[in-house]
Amino acid sequence: MKLKIIIFSICLFIGFLIVILPFIYVTYYPVNKEKKEVEIPKNLSTKKVCYLLQSKEVIPSAKILELMIKLSGKEKFIKYGFYVFPSKISYYKIFNILITGKQRLIKFTIPEGFNLYQIAELLEKKGFFSKKEFLDFCFNKEKIKNFLNNGISMEGYLYPDSYIISKATSVSNVVKVMNDNFKKKIVDRFYMDIIRSRFSLNETIILASIIQKETYYKKEMPIIASVFINRLKRGMRLQSDPTVIYGIWKEFKGKLTKKELNKYTPYNTYKINGLPLTPICNPGYYAVYSVLHPAKTNYLYFVSTNKGYHVFSKTYREHLKKVNIYQR
C-alpha cells in the first residue's frame, strides 16, 4: 500500500514538473518584446481576441492566452477598447490588462478660444477620430439635442480645459465630458449672474466668444465687453473681424479682404445687427465673466496696437486718429 502511495506521489510530482510547472512558467515569463498598441473591437470572441494579439505580435501563442482566460472563467469580462501593452510583460499581465480594462488614456488640452474646427483637428491629431466624424456630430441638431447647446451646434458649449480620456471613447462621450465641464464651470458658477443680466445664456456665450477672439489679455476683456455692450445699447453693429472669419472659416486664407468683409453671412457683424447666429469659439471663464461684469466705460471703439493689446476711443474721430497711428 505504501509503495502505491509512493509511486502515485512520484507520478504526481513528475506530472507537476511536466505540465503544471511549465504552464506557470509560461504564464509569468515576459513574452512581449516591445510595446504594442492594439485596438480590441467590440463583441469579439475570446478566441479572436487572442489571435488578434498574436497577429499583432503581443503574444507568441494565442492558444496559451485563450486557455488561461477559459480556465479563469472570465471570458465575458474582456473589455474592448484601445490598449497599450508595455514591453517585457507576461501572459498573466496581458490577461489582467484585458480583464480590468486598463485602456490607454490620452491627455489633451483645448485652449481658450478654440472653435469646433480647431478642436476637431486637435482630436484627430491625438488619434481619437477623424475631423469629419467630430464635426458631423457637433453640427447635427438631432444628435446634440440632449446636450446643453444653442440648438444649432455645440459651438461655445465645450469648455476649454485639460482632459484625460480613453482613446477608445466615442465622439458622443468626448462631447459629453466637455459639455458637462461647461455646465459645471460656467452654468453652475454664473447661474444667478445670467438671470440678473440683460443676456440669456446663449447670448452671454456668443458675446463671450467674440471677446475671447478679440483679446487674450484678461485685463482687457471687461473693457472690450463694455464696448460691445455700449454698441448694442445704441443699436450699432458690432463690426468684429473674428465673427466675419468664423462665417467663412473653410475658405479663409489668413487675412481678411474687403470682399470677405462685404460678404453676407449670419456671422458678418459688419452686415447684420446685433449678435451673430451662434458663438464663434469656446470661451474661457474670464471671457464669460467679463460679459456679466463689464467695465463701466463710454467707449465705442477699439483698435489693436499690433503689440497684443488695444487702445480705446469714445468717438469715431478719436478712433480714426488711433487707427492712423497703430494701423498705418
pLDDT tens-digit map of 56-99: 888 888 888 888 888 888 888 787 777 878 888 888 888 888 88
Q: Which of 148-162, 246-260, 289-303 has the lowest mean pLDDT?
A: 246-260
C-alpha cell at 228: 460691445
Residue 38 has pLDDT above 80, yes or no: yes
Q: Give SS3 for 31.
A: coil
CA distances, 306 to each of 19, 117, 258, 293, 325 (Å): 77, 26, 20, 26, 11
pLDDT tens-digit map of 231-261: 999 999 999 999 999 999 988 888 888 899 9
Q: What is the DSSP annotation of 215-251? A: ---TTTHHHHHHHHHHHHHHT-----HHHHHHHTTTT
Q: Which of residues 202 and 53 earns the better pLDDT score?
A: 202
Could you tell me which residues are beta bridge partners of residue 129? Answer: none
Note the pLDDT of residue 187: 97
Fold classification of 25-100 is Dna Ligase; domain 1 (3.30.1490)
Note the pLDDT of residue 107: 86
Separation CA 45–CA 296 (nearest Å): 66
Note the pLDDT of residue 2: 59
pTM: 0.77
Residue 30 has pLDDT above 80, yes or no: no
Separation CA 81–CA 268 (nearest Å): 43
Task: Delimit the domains of the chain by residue range.
Answer: 25-100, 106-188, 191-326
